[in-house]
Structure 1
Amino acid sequence: MLRVIAGLAVIAVMAAVGWWWLSDGESAAAPQRPPTTVNVVPAISRPLSDNLEVVGTARATRAIVLVTQVDGRVDKIHFQESQDVEAGDLLVTLDARAARAETDRTRADYQRALSDYQRASRLVGGSAISEAEVANLKTTMESARAIMEASRVALEDHSLRAPFDGVVGLRQVDEGAFLQVGAPVTTLDSVRNLEVNFQVPERYLSRIRPDLTVEVTSDAYPDKVFRGKIALLDSRVEAASRSLTVKALLDNADSLLRPGQFLQVSVLLAEHPALLVPEQAVISQGAQSYVFTVSNDDVAERLPVSLGGRRDGWVEITAGLDQGQPVIVNGHSRLGSGAPVKVVEDEGALMPSQRALLEEPA
């Protein structure tokens, strides 16, 4: 019996040795995994803005409808539609022949009344004229002067002039047309500086204030940004929308934007330096986010990170990464920590907007 047990023990030992020899041989013969080709980009530090995105409406800083002040027939139109004009420029003249004749008549009446009063003033004190008569002549002279001034103003009202610098709109009258008082002639808008009105939710009341920078874009000019500053805040929050009306002044020196236009408004609430990596470098698994970096011996290392804001295809890393540390942007979809990698240069690894921020000075 002892011989049988001893034989079985020897067989077991020999089997174990054989299994170890075979498995070791197979491990030695298994080929090593080739390194994964990856592209890397360094983490950069750039300013990151905290912006409020809203929509707004453009308004002229001054906008009026030009109307006639007196009745009359249009004698001549002096402007072209959509023309830039300056304050005082003549726009329309009405037939002023009757008004001019009336002005001449009232001027003559005033001159006669003035002469009568001056002559009587020299004779007062004697028996030729009484002080009461002189007083009556003075009243007559002053009344004639007032009538003359009124006729002069009426004559000037036959010439319609621009009250301020701006752009005239479409013509609403033709030469020869008879106009009554208050008839619209055209519009006048001051558009070199525009107002932009927009609504801000009440939760931003503590952060919104005059002089904050705004950037405005329009679908009509997708590649252009118009800049300005907040000028005024309304005195009350609208109860229905729980929002505050804000007015910003916008530089429109090229006169590209027009009153009434729909605009996208971005208000710069704050700005801070941030550590940024390309968005494609971040891998999210559930609530946790990771990036892969490359060690000095060309081995991938997975690092858990915390994310912040975003800018131009880059995402802010608030914790877990150092400035300048290279992160993998391509080839990391099946990587594991400790896997060998081969870093190659590829300009196509970043989008143009991302590369522009990479090349921008810190």
Structure 2
Amino acid sequence: MKQKSSKINMKRIITIGAIVLVAGFMAFTLYNNKKEINKNAAAVPDEVGSVPVKVTAVTLKKMDNSIELTGNFEARKEVPLTAEAQGSLIQLSIKEGQKVGQGQVIARIDPTAIQSSLATANASLNKAIKDKERYERLVQAGAISQKQYEDIALNVDNARANLAGIQQQMKYTIIRSPMSGTVSSVLVERGSFATVGMKIGTVIDVSRLKMVVQVSETDVVKIKKGQPVEIKTEVYPDHIFNGNISLISVQADAGRKYDVEVEVGNNSAFPLKAGMFGTVSLEAKTADDGEKLFIPRKAIVGSIKEAQVFVLNNDSTVTLKTIEVQNISGDELIVLKGLNNGDKIVVTGQINLLSGKKVKVIE
């Protein structure tokens, strides 16, 4: 009986020991889990509730004063070929694309009618000279008055002037090119009837080309005549043409833009033609070309006049700061007051921010 009781006590001890061991293991496991939970919980405030944002640094650099403007190339000089006498075109020696020299004969007008007038004018002059000689003898003899003689003498001057005019018309029957260049248009055919002042074609000088671009009133005061420019074309995308500003208009158009004429030399390696499209790059110099602080335009909260930005602090919070900026063209603004070089500012995610809010910077 006593032996049986001892066995029962032993079983109880073993059972209780097992329970204690299991309880101890569970307690140890729960303790470790709690530690891990507390550790993770301590890190949660840094992630949960943080607003994701993108930031950029305030940069110190020189302002890009370059201006790009587009336009079409034009001939530097364009001169009309006009008839200065009346008559049928009996010769036409030009065609489009033909090169001509200054003074070269390009057309002739039938001189028949003018030749007839010339013969009459010569006869009139000869008669006037003979009349003058006869009246000169009469005035010396006292047969006529001095006034009568002077009237006859005047006829000689008039006849000479008339002859000179007809001789000039005779010269006008030969049409010459007023300059060296290329014939860009021919508007008549041989046999056409020409009248005084009628345009028969055009000669252009493409040894140098010009391009007229329009510059705003804020930029036109920053450029000057003779200033070098660079020109790119779609025809030769890898080649840069060097030119210069040849003319700046003194009068703005209705849109407050000024015509600026740029000249560039033509060459056989990269020949340009009138009508081709090009892009002019020029430097708009200012009195202050030093380094300035720049920020992206999209960083601004509110208006340009009352500009504010969110500045990133070392503790991952942001502060809303009021700054002063200068508005320029493009995607950047110049910072005049309120920021320092290297300051980190928010450029994306501002809509969800308040001053003091924690943020998470994302790439």
Give yes or no for TM over 0.5: yes
Give the helix-richer structure, 1 or 2: 2
Q: Secondary structure at the match of 2:168?
A: helix
Equivalent residue letter for 2:273: R
Corresponding residue of 2:68:
53
| Displacement after TM superposition at 1:235 (Å) | 1.1
CA shift, 1:258, in A, is 3.0
2:194 corresponds to which letter in structure 1? L
Alignment of 1:82 with 2:97, yes or no, is yes
Moved more, 196-205 or 261-270: 261-270
Counterparts of residues 78-157 of structure 1 (less than 5 Å): 78-121=93-136, 123-157=138-172
- Of all paired residues, the percent bearing the same amino acid is 26
Name the CA distance, whole Å, in 1 between partners of 2:271 and 2:290: 34
Contact 2:185/2:203, CA 8 A, preserved across alignment: no
Please tell me whether residue 251 in structure 1 is matched to residue 265 in structure 2: yes
Once residues 193 and 88 of structure 1 are traced to their aligned partners in structure 2, the CA distance between those partners, rounded to angstroms, is: 20
Q: Render the CA deviation track for 1:157-202: whole Å, top value 9, x for unaligned.
A: 2111111222112322222233334443111112222222101122
The answer to which of 93-102 and 172-181 deviates more is 172-181
Query: How far apart are the structure 2 equivalents of 1:244 and 1:205?
Result: 7
Moved more, 113-122 or 62-71: 113-122
The residue type equivalent to 1:217 in the other structure is: K
The residue type equivalent to 1:146 in the other structure is A
1:256 corresponds to which letter in structure 2? P
- Give the deviation of 1:97 after TM superposition: 1.8
Question: What's the Cα RMSD here?
Answer: 3.2
The answer to whether the Cα contact below 8 Å between 1:226 and 1:252 also exists between their aligned partners in 2 is: no
- Structure showing greater radius of gyration is 2
Displacement after TM superposition at 1:270 (Å): 5.7
**1: distance between equivalents of 2:240 and 2:127?**
66
Unaligned 5+ runs, structure 1: 1-47, 275-286, 289-318, 321-362
Hey, what does 1:234 align to over in structure 2?
249
Residue-pair matches, total? 232
Q: Which runs of 4+ in 1 moved over 6 A?
A: 271-274
1:24-65, CA deviations, whole angstroms, 9 ceiling, x for partnerless residues? Answer: xxxxxxxxxxxxxxxxxxxxxxxx985311112323232233
Aligned pairs for 1:333-352 within 5 A:
none
Structure 2 unaligned residues grouped into runs of 5+: 1-62, 292-310, 313-340, 343-363
3-state DSSP of counterpart to 1:107: helix
Structural mapping, 1:1-362, within 5 Å:
50-121=65-136, 123-240=138-255, 242-254=256-268, 256-269=271-284
- 1:253 offset after TM fit, Å? 4.8
One-letter amino acid of the structure 1 residue matched with residue 264 of structure 2: L
Mapped partners of 1:237, 1:169: distance in 2: 31
Partner-residue secondary structure (3-state), 1:121: helix
What TM-score do you get using the length of structure 2 for normalisation? 0.56
TM-score normalized with structure 1 length? 0.56
> Would you say the 8 A contact 2:249–2:259 is kept in 1?
yes
- 8 Å CA contact retained: 1:67, 1:183: yes
Residue identity opposite 2:260 in structure 1: V
State the 1:106 CA deviation.
Answer: 0.8
Read off the aligned partner of 1:58 and give its amino acid letter: F
Gap change, CA 1:120 and 1:201, over 3 Å in 2:
same
Instruction: Please tell me whether the aligned partners of residues 89 and 161 of structure 1 are also in contact (alpha carbons under 8 angstroms).
Output: yes
Structure 2 counterpart of 1:296: none
Question: How much has 1:75 moved relative to structure 2?
Answer: 0.8
How far is the alpha carbon of 1:220 from its aligned partner? 2.4
**What's the CA shift for 1:273?**
12
Q: Deviations over 1:273-312 (max 9, x none)?
A: 99xxxxxxxxxxxx99xxxxxxxxxxxxxxxxxxxxxxxx
